[in-house]
Amino acid sequence: MAAAARINCSSVQNTLFFLNPLHYSLNSKATHLRTRLHFRRNIPSPSRRAVFCSTATTNDATRQVNEAVSEPFVLTTPLYYVNAPPHMGSAYTTIAGDAIARFQRLLGKKVIFVTGTDEHGEKIAAAAAAAGSSPKEHCDVVSQAYKKLWKDLDIAYDKFIRTTDPKHEAIVKEFYSRVHASGDIYRADYEGLYCVNCEEYKDEKELLDNNCCPTHLKPCVPRKEDNYFFALSKYQNKLEETLTSDFVKPSFRLNEVQSWIKSGVRDFSISRASVDWGIPVPNDSKQTIYVWFDALLGYISALSEDTEELNLQTAVSSGWPATLHLIGKDILRFHAVYWPAMLMSAGLDLPKMVFGHGFLTKDGMKMGKSLGNTIEPNDLVGKFGPDAVRYFFLREVEFGSDGDYSEDRFISIVNAHLANTIGNLLNRTLGLLKKNCQSTLVIDSSIAAEGTTFKDSVEKLVEKARVHYENLSLSSACEAVLEIGNAGNSYMDERAPWSLFKQGGAAAEAAAKDLVIILETMRIIAIALSPVSPGLCWRIYAQLGFSKDHFDASTWSETKWGGLKGGQVMAQPKPVFARIENQTEAENGVESAKKVVKRKEKSPQAQRTVEA
């Protein structure tokens, strides 16, 4: 979407509700007995999707099952403005949205994850002209670049809406007519300072010297137009009542929104006389609908099924209201003030929550297409892969606050967490299992953990991760999962199974159990981190001897201890995440490769590999 007004310039315990819980418990007991007697291959079949309810009683669980059936979790990213291809900032919101969508799917919710592109307006027409193509051709190319990036980043969206889609146009016109029928549209002259990059008239008091837009650092131009206006001021009181802490998150953004509203909302123009590239105003073909009025409706038109009769009502009944609009803080005013009032005027429900996250910055400025100070996500994905990119930005930037990117930091975080704490732990455990147990688990993980407190600490950390995911604290969720990995490494180091194996007899039996405990820990990590780095987690699952179908059907309820059964055969150990070598080292060739080896030998992780 077009960037907007900015205020300043730095601008079970959990009840596991299996469809047939009795069947589940009988089955697991039977398996249990068998696996105590034999070492046999026992690959569990894909589990049915369970519905998970946090710290809930059975009654709550039933209620939530009903809710899950009737109410989808509808999550949206902004519809990105196709004035230029996507950059890391656009990718950031979409990665976060995908992690939230994947987490909700793990909980058993029906999820509708909506993304797309905003394709009308003056800025697009100008970008197309500069590229020597027609606006539509330009939109086709850039919109495709978004789709390609989402694929490369493992984004599993359900709906991709383009605002040039004819079904969207029909819905916008119908919505406009409804608002008109409510008496909320009138015609007037308007004169003001306009930022084309924001696609918005600005208040002089928000601007920098020379009337520069604080976000785009370019002078706003004086404009005078005869436009249609939306009577936002009529909704002053209703907006004051509606905008509570449940509606706008994080809470410090709510304060921002409340202060805008308290200072008095003003009507805004919803048509342009000077812009051809847009949806014509019903009954006045000389004007086009303002790009924001048009684009926000993409959240609703995205929901309509191609098979349905095309109108606002059918689209709304396919999932509206949205559960969560995920946006950057730059477009908060549009989502938390204009959009609710527009919906009230049309007699439609409001979204349940708007979450405005912070900016990825470069030298303190918002990274953006208009300023051109962007990081190219295709380069990052090409160099480091989607799992590392997704993990780094979700782990490193607290969701809600701003964050800066540095390649050194990227490499050190990803190597320490994904290659060492997680990848290396799996690899050395599988190495020991291969050497000492023919890659086969000797016992059920539930039995292996009897009498240890380790299982309890893992379950507590998983629960911590769940709560953080629920609260959209994605960085803390990653941290909790990583703590599980740290706990696994400490357990391994304390127990030193490699030396127990050497002792033989009871010590070796204990060591074989320890390996089951660590691998069960890895299984739990693979589910708990799958919203963030799905590819990596699938590779972990595959190493544990599971099928892709099994992984795809997994649910959060399976983070409960006890999934690995005795007799299960693990795959051949193979690194699931390749350590990223620092470029300078790579460039310096053999000499520095030697240094890397030396450094690795000194690191605790490398020592562990040697032991394994």
* Chain residues that interact with ligand ATP, rule: CB under 6 A: 1-3, 78, 80-81, 83, 89-90, 92-93, 197, 327-328, 330-331, 359-360, 366-371
Question: Could you say which of ligand ATP, Zn ion, none residue 81 binds, taking C-beta under 5 to 8 angstroms by partner kind?
Answer: ligand ATP
Q: In terms of CB distance, is 300 or 331 closer to Zn ion?
A: 331
Strands 200-202 and 324-328: unpaired
Q: In terms of CB distance, is 357 or 495 closer to ligand ATP?
A: 357
Work out how close the CB of 75 gets to ligand ATP at its nearest, in angstroms, rounded to a whole number.
Answer: 13
Question: Could you say which of ligand ATP, Zn ion, none residue 561 binds, taking C-beta under 5 to 8 angstroms by partner kind?
Answer: none
In sequence order, what are the beta bridge partners of 281?
Answer: 284
- Label each residue of 324-343 as H, E or C: EEEEEHHHHHHHHHHHHHHH
Greatest extent of the chain over all pairs of C-alpha atoms, in Å: 91
Question: Could you say which of Zn ion, ligand ATP, none residue 195 binds, taking C-beta under 5 to 8 angstroms by partner kind?
Answer: Zn ion
Question: Could you say which of ligand ATP, Zn ion, none residue 331 binds, taking C-beta under 5 to 8 angstroms by partner kind?
Answer: ligand ATP
Yes or no: say if 554 and 527 are a contact pair by the CB < 8 Å rule: yes
Yes or no: say if 367 and 215 are a contact pair by the CB < 8 Å rule: no
Q: CA–CA separation, 571 vs 542, rounded Å?
A: 7
Range 65-99 burial, b when 16+ CB lie within 10 A, else e:
beebeeebbbbbbbbbbbbbbbbbbbbbbbbbbbb
Yes or no: say if 367 and 373 are a contact pair by the CB < 8 Å rule: yes
Work out how close the CB of 66 gets to ligand ATP at its nearest, in angstroms, rounded to a whole number.
Answer: 33
Question: Could you say which of Zn ion, ligand ATP, none residue 482 binds, taking C-beta under 5 to 8 angstroms by partner kind?
Answer: none
Work out how close the CB of 83 gets to ligand ATP at its nearest, in angstroms, rounded to a whole number.
Answer: 6
Question: Could you say which of Zn ion, ligand ATP, none residue 433 binds, taking C-beta under 5 to 8 angstroms by partner kind?
Answer: none
Work out how close the CB of 96 gets to ligand ATP at its nearest, in angstroms, rounded to a whole number.
Answer: 9
Q: In terms of CB distance, is 399 or 556 closer to ligand ATP?
A: 399
Q: CA–CA separation, 460 vs 560, rounded Å?
A: 10
Which ranges of 224-376 does DSSP label H, i.e. alpha helix?
A: 236-242, 251-262, 291-296, 298-301, 312-317, 332-333, 339-346
Contacts of 571 (CB under 8 A, 6+ apart): 430, 439, 542, 543, 544, 545
Q: In terms of CB distance, is 76 or 429 closer to ligand ATP?
A: 76
Q: In terms of CB distance, is 93 or 420 closer to ligand ATP?
A: 93
Task: Provide the 8-state DSSP code for 14.
Answer: S
Work out how close the CB of 6 gets to ligand ATP at its nearest, in angstroms, rounded to a whole number.
Answer: 10
Which ranges of 496-504 does DSSP label H, i.e. alpha helix?
A: 497-503
Question: Could you say which of ligand ATP, Zn ion, none residue 89 binds, taking C-beta under 5 to 8 angstroms by partner kind?
Answer: ligand ATP
Q: In terms of CB distance, is 361 or 473 closer to ligand ATP?
A: 361
Q: In terms of CB distance, is 146 or 561 closer to ligand ATP?
A: 146
The residue ranges that bind Zn ion (CB under 5 A) are: 195, 197-198, 213, 215-216
Task: Provide the 8-state DSSP code for 531.
Answer: T
Question: Could you say which of Zn ion, ligand ATP, none residue 277 binds, taking C-beta under 5 to 8 angstroms by partner kind?
Answer: none
Question: Could you say which of ligand ATP, Zn ion, none residue 448 binds, taking C-beta under 5 to 8 angstroms by partner kind?
Answer: none
386-396 and 88-106 are packed helices; what angle lies between their axes, rounded to 10 degrees? 90
Q: In terms of CB distance, is 93 or 104 closer to ligand ATP?
A: 93
Q: Residue 568 is encoded by which pair of tokens?
A: 């299960």
Work out how close the CB of 289 gets to ligand ATP at its nearest, in angstroms, rounded to a whole number.
Answer: 18
Q: In terms of CB distance, is 9 or 447 closer to Zn ion?
A: 9
Work out how close the CB of 357 gets to Zn ion at its nearest, in angstroms, rounded to a whole number.
Answer: 19
Question: Could you say which of Zn ion, ligand ATP, none residue 315 binds, taking C-beta under 5 to 8 angstroms by partner kind?
Answer: none
Work out how close the CB of 494 gets to Zn ion at its nearest, in angstroms, rounded to a whole number.
Answer: 57
Work out how close the CB of 331 gets to Zn ion at its nearest, in angstroms, rounded to a whole number.
Answer: 12
Q: CA–CA separation, 99 vs 197, rounded Å?
A: 29
Q: In terms of CB distance, is 121 or 567 closer to Zn ion?
A: 121
Q: In terms of CB distance, is 153 or 295 closer to Zn ion?
A: 295
Q: CA–CA separation, 388 vs 446, rounded Å?
A: 32
Q: CA–CA separation, 105 vs 110, rounded Å?
A: 6
Question: Could you say which of Zn ion, ligand ATP, none residue 254 binds, taking C-beta under 5 to 8 angstroms by partner kind?
Answer: none
Residue facing ligand ATP at closest CB distance: 89
Question: Could you say which of Zn ion, ligand ATP, none residue 489 binds, taking C-beta under 5 to 8 angstroms by partner kind?
Answer: none
Distances (CA, A) of 379 to 97, 139, 153, 584: 21, 22, 12, 18
Contacts of 210 (CB under 8 A, 6+ apart): 219
Work out how close the CB of 214 gets to Zn ion at its nearest, in angstroms, rounded to a whole number.
Answer: 8
Q: In terms of CB distance, is 2 or 95 closer to Zn ion?
A: 2
Work out how close the CB of 195 gets to Zn ion at its nearest, in angstroms, rounded to a whole number.
Answer: 3
ω into residue 72 within 30 of 0, thus cis?
Answer: no
Sign of the alpha-carbon torsion through 584, 590, 593, 598: negative
Chain centre distance of CA 421: 23
Contacts of 481 (CB under 8 A, 6+ apart): 461, 465, 525, 528, 529, 532
Question: Could you say which of Zn ion, ligand ATP, none residue 90 binds, taking C-beta under 5 to 8 angstroms by partner kind?
Answer: ligand ATP
Name the burial class of residue 574, with classes exposed (0-12), middle (13-18) and buried (19+) by CB atoms within 10 angstroms of its CB: exposed
Work out how close the CB of 293 gets to ligand ATP at its nearest, in angstroms, rounded to a whole number.
Answer: 16
ω into residue 351 within 30 of 0, thus cis?
Answer: no
Q: Residue 525 is encoded by which pair of tokens?
A: 């990590």
Question: Could you say which of ligand ATP, Zn ion, none residue 213 binds, taking C-beta under 5 to 8 angstroms by partner kind?
Answer: Zn ion
Q: CA–CA separation, 561 vs 483, rounded Å?
A: 16
Q: Residue 262 is encoded by which pair of tokens?
A: 């308290």
Chain centre distance of CA 177: 35
Q: In terms of CB distance, is 348 or 371 closer to ligand ATP?
A: 371
Work out how close the CB of 366 gets to ligand ATP at its nearest, in angstroms, rounded to a whole number.
Answer: 5
Q: In terms of CB distance, is 340 or 423 closer to ligand ATP?
A: 340
Work out how close the CB of 362 gets to ligand ATP at its nearest, in angstroms, rounded to a whole number.
Answer: 8
